[in-house]
Structure 1
């Protein structure tokens, strides 16, 4: 009996060892089998925004698939940045996340610190990617704790769009206002009661970050533990907005569709100016052509200095992929952020050329001569700032946006009081 038991245990041990070895090598065996059979590695890529931006993503994925025969990428639209972020988090928790996704820059830190995205440093070092070819103004939101978690892809800054047909009719310089004083004068002269306002501008956090920077301020302290948007710079910005809104020379739409409403106001001639992303440039040019007006772009106006936040998204790899998928995902990210594709995306959409070599290329330089509107955001980038990446910042953003809108709507609410209240709530989250 003891002998039979010993034999049984020996056979069981061999069976377990064989199973372990089988599991260990099954992935490699499948990869070898796929390679021999010519089966491609399948990747899913998630992106935000439609129209020209969506077309650009679909076009590039198709071009990548046609450029080689080992990897096939399926590009899938997921809505706004907020939609994309929420869906990616849910998919990661359910273990069916896309291998590659766009990561809005202020969420890079949240995703990296929660273990949802892969450190790209080893891949960059292995392939000797020249990171100094990426515009330094766009790299601030690429690193978390000294490690690279994303490569700049579709990056932007807010710029000022101008209906220069209206500007000329009002006797204004079509190059646009250079500072807050001129901006106020333009808004006043361009407003026609009952017909149009000088500018339609939502109480958007991106624009508020810009106005705060223009007075030398910051949203969050350097150590990320304290709100600073309620400093003198923040109060100046919100007081300026409130003054213009009270006079009726700017329109401040509310709600989730505020940005869309502002762009519609501009397109339909109900506003002579609008702040929006450089990513909207191709779309705005097509609207101007349809509506038969001349369009120009300009820096956001300065106060003590010029200043804008950068925006847009980096490309990231989700964490937990096997080696084969990692290598394939990296090949796609590397290809999408290369010089040639950077040129294509910038020309197609209006997004900034994230690589210096792309911006200096004959193709982009010729475009700037033909359509100088494309060069404005590139020139403005010297005044660009990285956005805060603290884990609590998305919640802080919602708090600030609520107070911005409330201050503009309520005549008796002082900007300093509103921002102090927002800072108190923000500090409890940041700590």
Structure 2
């Protein structure tokens, strides 16, 4: 039963006040909504523009629509939520707007309620009301005036709407440990998701159908034609921006994920009262709510960390020696994050493996970006639908180990007599714990600096000698010479991505976390706001602030465009892009090592990036052995040459 909030309005009042609702497919900004409210109240059609219930859900939804995050770790989507962040930036702007609707006389102070708002709206004492789409039927039938619907508003600072988070509920199958019962439960779940039930549920409640393949259902089409208000929520969700401009996930609209979320929502409700009844400022009230939320998160995470330790006993699953020659025919599921041309190469390698023998068949499935693939795996763990093998990126390493679902690569290597010394030491070390490699290295990369050979020559600038890097001051001196020569306005095309900061910090000898970067104990604090970290960040932000690079924002692709167009002489990017950059440029492209902080004295080197292959324990040793055969194949010489070239 999926739903989202929408704004319901009194069509007659709007017409009498001369107010037009937002155009279809758009939302009002806060200032536009307040301007409409001023016109409505000035017209005398009602004393109250709004009937606002002080519920946490509206705050969460409008924060998402404004592009704000509720928790750290990308809203708890790329790691456990450790702290709430809704008392910052957009969160404060949203809360000032909502509490201001009451404080500034646009809505009566109705308190924490869902029902009193309906009463005020239906009695004609307010022109607008936020409510769930699930109430569309009742509101439409209960009003003695025409009810219209529109999208939720967004903060002016956001510039445009992002969209909303899915609400409502889902069906969860709890493992009975009886296969027949679980199968019966699954049959019921499938029945509830079937077309007839989805149509009935939608038309009789207002919760919208969750399936996209039934939009042409004749009954639905007829119902929507007669009841257009039911379509607003569907359109609002369908146009929600789940991806940012650079293709990465829009974690704001994916919604916050945290165990104690219900308790944290109550703290937001208390914050409304603290502002409207006790006189606190919105910032102060949110700070109190966040302090309480952080304690809840800390207690919850500590409890489940101890439960995980008790349940798993260790972070990895042991595997006995296996005789791979005895493998029965088996099909393996392989999830990966390689799209476009890279995805075609993955498919080529998988086909090569499948054709090389007739026992094991590998199905390769593209799951989206690294973040998408990571999140898909976490979701699959909850449903028991995880693959046999997954390509997961470098930043997922600790989470992969913590799942307790792995067969670590070193056990497979030892059982098979596999020589792990064939791997580049920096690669092997990154994916290792005290026992050895926990994953099979596959698509490894690092950042390098690409440069326009012609521009550097014309400016009289020599790149660093082979095997060396520029220090920050040496790179800035080169940039001054390049820009002074007039060959380009911008020395650098810099994408503001966290990876470059991490890598240049490492090259400068700085640590990101305590406990030796989380290698001699669990990381419990970040350290990048100290010493070298500050020096590195001042250098990177200074490239933009001091005119060496255009302000391109958080992007990977726009830097390529600027560099190809000859609007910059130097660009940081991954080694994985070398082929495309070389082929796509109409000038000679050179490469050099990334720079280091002057305080370091010399370069330290870089961290391995990219991704590795992880074997998820199926509980069946012969299946795991089949996966190992595929992993060995992918690490084989011919495949590595194909992948690299």
Superposition TM-score tier, normalisation by shorter sequence: 0.5 to 0.7
TM-superposed CA distance for 1:174, in Å, is: 5.1
Give the match for residue 394 of structure 1: none
* C-alpha separation in 1, matches of 2:409 and 2:504: 33
- Among 479, 492, 500, the alignment partner of 1:199 is 492
Give the match for residue 356 of structure 2: 67
Alignment CA distance shift 1:41-1:212 (3 Å): same
Q: Is the 8 A contact 1:109 1:144 kept in 2?
A: no
Equivalences for 1:354-393 in 2 at 5 Å? none
**2:638 is equivalent to residue 340 of structure 1:** yes
TM-superposed CA distance for 1:49, in Å, is: 2.9
Could you tell me the TM-score, scaled by structure 2's length? 0.45
Give the match for residue 254 of structure 2: none
* C-alpha separation in 1, matches of 2:583 and 2:329: 39
TM-superposed CA distance for 1:195, in Å, is: 6.3
Equivalences for 1:259-338 in 2 at 5 Å? 259-288=556-585, 292-303=586-597, 304-306=601-603, 307-338=605-636
TM-superposed CA distance for 1:104, in Å, is: 0.9
Q: Is the 8 A contact 1:153 1:314 kept in 2?
A: yes
- Among 347, 364, 370, the alignment partner of 1:58 is 347
Give the match for residue 96 of structure 1: 385
Alignment CA distance shift 1:124-1:166 (3 Å): same
Q: Is the 8 A contact 1:52 1:283 kept in 2?
A: no
Give the match for residue 537 of structure 2: 238
* C-alpha separation in 1, matches of 2:379 and 2:568: 39
Q: Is the 8 A contact 2:391 2:612 kept in 1?
A: yes
Q: Is the 8 A contact 1:160 1:297 kept in 2?
A: yes
* C-alpha separation in 2, matches of 1:158 and 1:125: 32
Q: Is the 8 A contact 1:106 1:141 kept in 2?
A: no
Could you tell me the TM-score, scaled by structure 1's length? 0.66
Q: Is the 8 A contact 1:285 1:295 kept in 2?
A: yes
Q: Is the 8 A contact 2:488 2:569 kept in 1?
A: no
* C-alpha separation in 2, matches of 1:253 and 1:116: 40
Give the match for residue 243 of structure 2: none
TM-superposed CA distance for 1:45, in Å, is: 1.4
Give the match for residue 48 of structure 1: 337
- Among 459, 473, 482, the alignment partner of 1:190 is 482
Cα offsets for 1:158-199 (capped at 9, x unmatched):
100111122222222256863222211233333488964111
* C-alpha separation in 2, matches of 1:186 and 1:194: 13
Q: Is the 8 A contact 2:449 2:573 kept in 1?
A: yes
Computed over aligned residues only, the root mean square deviation of the Cα atoms, in angstroms, reads 2.6
* C-alpha separation in 1, matches of 2:584 and 2:489: 18
Give the match for residue 132 of structure 1: 421
* C-alpha separation in 1, matches of 2:386 and 2:483: 49
Give the match for residue 459 of structure 2: 170
* C-alpha separation in 2, matches of 1:51 and 1:282: 14
Alignment CA distance shift 1:231-1:40 (3 Å): same
* C-alpha separation in 1, matches of 2:496 and 2:636: 35
Cα offsets for 1:376-408 (capped at 9, x unmatched):
xxxxxxxxxxxxxxxxxxxxxxxxxxxxxxxxx
TM-superposed CA distance for 1:69, in Å, is: 1.1
TM-superposed CA distance for 1:114, in Å, is: 1.5
Cα offsets for 1:15-63 (capped at 9, x unmatched):
xxxx9xxxxxxxxxxxxxxx99x99421121111323322221111111
**2:547 is equivalent to residue 248 of structure 1:** yes
Gaps (5+ residues) in structure 2? 1-179, 181-324
Q: Is the 8 A contact 2:332 2:388 kept in 1?
A: yes
* C-alpha separation in 1, matches of 2:330 and 2:618: 16
* C-alpha separation in 2, matches of 1:246 and 1:262: 17
Larger CA deviation: 111-120 vs 308-317: 111-120
Q: Is the 8 A contact 2:338 2:346 kept in 1?
A: no
* C-alpha separation in 2, matches of 1:185 and 1:85: 41
**Residues matched between the structures, number:** 308
Alignment CA distance shift 1:47-1:196 (3 Å): farther
Gaps (5+ residues) in structure 1? 1-18, 20-34, 348-431
* C-alpha separation in 2, matches of 1:121 and 1:189: 51
- Among 66, 85, 89, the alignment partner of 2:374 is 85
SS at match of 1:140: helix
SS at match of 1:190: helix
SS at match of 2:430: coil
Equivalences for 1:4-23 in 2 at 5 Å? none
